[in-house]
Amino acid sequence: MFRPDHFTAVLLFALFASVVFGITQRDTPRRMVRFGIYCFVLFAGSAIVLSWLMFLIAR
């Protein structure tokens, strides 16, 4: 059984979803790569920001 921690699961989710979004939402390879990276940063970045917000609220 695979038991990743929460952040690893977020990174895996962001990686696979970003690859699919990049390929399907843009026309040229260059724009696909750029949009994929953009999606990955937004996925991972928003998870980190929300995690810190929840941490600070819970204190």
Partner 1 sequence: MRYSQKGMATTPNKLTAAQKETRQGFVYLPLIAGWLVPGAGHFVLGKWVRGTLLAVSIISMFALGIAMQGKIYSGAHDILEMLGLVGDLGNGLLYVVARVLGLGADQVMVTTADYGRAFIVVAGLLNVIAAVDAHNIRTGRKA
Does residue 44 bind partner 1 (CB under 8 A)? no
Residue linked to tokens 């895996």: 12
Residue 49 near partner 1 by CB under 8 A: no
| Rounded Cα gap, residues 11 and 8, in angstroms | 5
Q: How far is it, in rounded angstroms, from Cα 17 to Cα 40?
A: 8
Minimal distance, residue 32 CB to partner 1, in Å:
8
13 contacts partner 1 (rule: CB under 8 A)? yes
28 binds partner 1 (CB under 8 A): yes
Q: Which two tokens stand for residue 53?
A: 């917000």
Q: Please report, as ranges, the residues that interact with partner 1 according to CB under 8 A.
A: 1-4, 6, 9, 12-13, 15-17, 19-21, 23-24, 27-28
